[in-house]
Amino acid sequence: MIGQVLGHCRVVSKIGEGGMGVVYRAYDEVLHRDVALKVVKKDPHLDTSSSERLLHEARASSSLSHPNICTIHEVGENEGELFIVMELVEGKSLRAMCADTGLPPESVLRYGVQIASALARAHDRGIVHRDLKTANIVVTADGLVKVLDFGLAKQVGSGMFDATTRSFVSIQDASSMSGTLPYMAPEILRGEAADYRSDLWALGVVLYEAASGCLPFEGRTGFEISSAIMREVPKPLGPPIPPGLWAIVQRCLAKEPMQRYQRASEVQAALEAVQSAGIVSPAPGPDLGAPKTTVLHSVRHAHVRSGDFLLLVGTTKGAFILRSNAQRSRWEVGGPYFHGHSVYAMAYDNRGGQHRIWASTASYWGTLLRSSDDFGKSWTNPQQAPIRFPSDAGVSLKNIWQIALGRPEEPNVLFCGVEPAALFETRDAGETWSLVQGLFDHPHRPRWMPGNGGLALHTIVLDPGDNQRMYVAISAGGVYRTDDGGLSWTPQNQGIRATTMPEKYPVFGQCVHKIVMHPARPERLFLQSHWGLYRSDNCAENWHDIANGVPSDFGFAMITHPRNPDSVYVVPVESDEFRCACDGRLRVYRTRNGGASWEPLSRGLPQKRAYETVLRDAMTADSFDPMGIYFGTRSGQLFGSCDEGRTWRKILEGLPSVVCVRNAVVGDASGVLRPTSPKVSAPSQQTKSLPKSKTRRPKG
């Protein structure tokens, strides 16, 4: 073969030989460059049409142009033998580099990002690799990754590939399969077709092997390996592997394709997020010549352990995570996360044993829903915004105002309330989101009016006893309720005054600022409106004024007590024009009798020149007994009380404007308080009318 010319390439020397064929170094005499030339062995099992398909596949792969994909220059046939002319890649295989001990995490991330990027490009072009493995990945001397043999596996068949990784004679003979057993996804072993997600499984195996030097699923025989792939969970990767990287590997290795990432670009983004979170490995790895991972020294992380108490604080310039213990007296501050982005919604999701923090981020560059499984050390940064209006909706996402967890029995369900006013839901833990069309198509929607903060659906309240019933609040549209899981919605604003419309009690259009429900009495709701405090005892069928003794019934924030359904907290502000604490005195007001009377709680809060505003989601109550209560202000101060509001302490100051405060007890499944309650039947019309109050109100 040496000296022979195939196409316009003269064979120079033999590089290696494998199951698929022989690889030569060759010289392209037309383009004057060194190339690799692979001569594919003749396979007696391949008929003419199979050969043609292989040729077609190789030609399709040759269209891939990407810095991390070994380029196929030419495909041809010579005396019945297929030959492939490709880029000559000189370097070491990832398999050789990670043998035995694995690579330092920085290198795993750096190479992982490049491999995922290569897969993303190929998948975009409809090409599945089907045999991704560390032996097929070469790293050049300057740290550039090259993925080899794209798209060749399917038509060639596993028998022709270099399956030196493991021997598995019985599987090899199965003509429907291709690839290398330890990297094969469960669905392939079940006889299903490989798709993009099978490549993402293989990527998970590659990352695991690169990080540890070991394969995640091992065995002495093909049967044992298959059995491990189908049934076993890989041994966890501990330090120095960052939890974020381990979480990515786990998700790639989910047994069901639907549970994995759905796109290679998502894996790439997740790896980049871990990279940007900063990782410092204890000892430098062997590849010092390669570029370093960026370490963000300016971001501090809270060191969170099980049993810790957390405050999640969203501001107009980023998010913070504050950690304390049950005493809630000393605080460790993590952040700022998402420098310069406004974070209007945060949530802690511990359903199913997870520790996921959700955050919405909005900036010049759009609005994203992001999550962290390691308490802020790494965050998802999806390439494509997961929450987006359909292209024919005529509107674009401006902000995400609320993240609401679904019911405990549906741990993969979440809702997001957004601006412009609309509701989105996910049923696969945030993988895919869809617009709740029933509300979006509501005939009232074109007549909803934006408030000062925009036209936002900012509040979502789920009925814990009726899984078809849910409430939303829109500024300025009012309260809407569904009793059929979101298919249809009715306005529920009877009795709520509209101060900004000619008709004082319209069917909809009120600027409702917040509604809350006590889970033990889901038929009862409280409401803070743009001028007005209300209660409903009949599932929002009608509302009654309860502003009995507050200095102003204008305000934003409102919370319930975790145990007492008659107890509600608000922070009145002076007026629509002057949205500051009344008389410059920062006071939380509490009712313990369902709104019949209110009392100020101000001990420890500034009472002079405190022109503060507490926005609608900037107050939260914990589940301790006695209850803790926390709020942040537009001036960036954070206050807390561990005795139900009797006394207050300043926790932090100097933050950007606080727009969201949430709390969580780590590892405590009861952190989401959802006591079971009987299903509420038809709303009762019998409600107790409460006495009217002397409350500061707008004119007109």
Partner 1 sequence: MPVTFHIPGALREFTAGQSRVQIEHSPKTLAEALSALWIIYPGVRDRIATEQGHVREHVNIFIGDENIRYTGGLASSVPDGCEISIVPAVSGG
**The one segment of 46-54, 56-64, 382-390, 628-636 that binds partner 1 by CB under 8 A:** 382-390
> Which residues face 475 on adjacent strands?
456
Among 51, 227, 262, 381, binds partner 1 (CB under 8 A): 381
Q: What is the DSSP letter of 370?
A: E
- Rounded to whole angstroms, how far apart are CA atoms 668 and 431? 25
- Rounded to whole angstroms, how far apart are CA atoms 534 and 470? 18
**The one segment of 177-185, 381-389, 588-596, 621-629 that binds partner 1 by CB under 8 A:** 381-389
- Rounded to whole angstroms, how far apart are CA atoms 288 and 697? 69
CB of 611 to partner 1, least distance (A): 18
Segment 43-72, which members bind partner 1 (CB under 8 A)? Answer: 67
Which CB sits closer to partner 1, 191 or 654? 654
Contact 113, 86 (CB under 8 A): no
- Assess 419 for contact with partner 1 (CB under 8 A): no
Which CB sits closer to partner 1, 207 or 368? 368
Alpha-carbon separation of residue 506 from 136, 277, 451 (angstroms): 67, 50, 17
Number of residues that bind partner 1 (CB under 8 A): 26
Q: What is the DSSP letter of 41?
A: P
- Rounded to whole angstroms, how far apart are CA atoms 400 and 458? 8
Q: Which positions from 245 to 284 touch partner 1 by CB under 8 A, shown as an x/- string?
A: --------------------x---x--x---x--------
Q: Between β-strands 332-337 and 346-349, what pairing exists: parallel, antiparallel or unpaired? A: unpaired
- Residue 518 burial by CB count (10 A; 0-12/13-18/19+): exposed, middle or buried? buried
Q: For residue 455, give both structure tokens.
A: 């036209």
Q: Which positions from 383 to 412 touch partner 1 by CB under 8 A, shown as an x/- string?
A: xxx--xxxx-xxxxx---------------
- Assess 364 for contact with partner 1 (CB under 8 A): yes
- Residue 243 phi, psi (nearest 5): -55, -35
Contact 554, 599 (CB under 8 A): no
Q: For residue 381, give both structure tokens.
A: 């940064």
Which CB sits closer to partner 1, 22 or 395? 395
CB of 396 to partner 1, least distance (A): 4
Q: Give me Rg for the CA atoms of the chain.
A: 30
- Assess 4 for contact with partner 1 (CB under 8 A): no
Which CB sits closer to partner 1, 325 or 452? 452
Contact 425, 434 (CB under 8 A): yes
**The one segment of 113-121, 254-262, 506-514, 583-591 that binds partner 1 by CB under 8 A:** 113-121
- CA 252 to centroid of chain Cα atoms: 15
* Annotated active-site residue in 131, 199, 545, 617: 131
CB of 390 to partner 1, least distance (A): 8
CB of 584 to partner 1, least distance (A): 23
Q: For residue 90, give both structure tokens.
A: 């000189």
Lookup result for tokens 């409350």? 695
Contact 648, 604 (CB under 8 A): yes
Segment 526-555, which members bind partner 1 (CB under 8 A)? Answer: none
- Residue 584 burial by CB count (10 A; 0-12/13-18/19+): exposed, middle or buried? middle
Contacts of residue 220, defined as CB under 8 A and 6 or more positions apart, other chains included, come to none
Q: Which positions from 114 to 153 touch partner 1 by CB under 8 A, shown as an x/- string?
A: ---x--x---x-----------------------------
Q: Is 124 a catalytic residue?
A: no
Q: Which positions from 70 to 109 touch partner 1 by CB under 8 A, shown as an x/- string?
A: ----------------------------------------
- Assess 365 for contact with partner 1 (CB under 8 A): yes
Catalytic residues: 131
In the complex, which residues of this chain contact partner 1 (CB under 8 A)? Answer: 67, 113, 117, 120, 124, 265, 269, 272, 276, 363-366, 381, 383-385, 388-391, 393-397
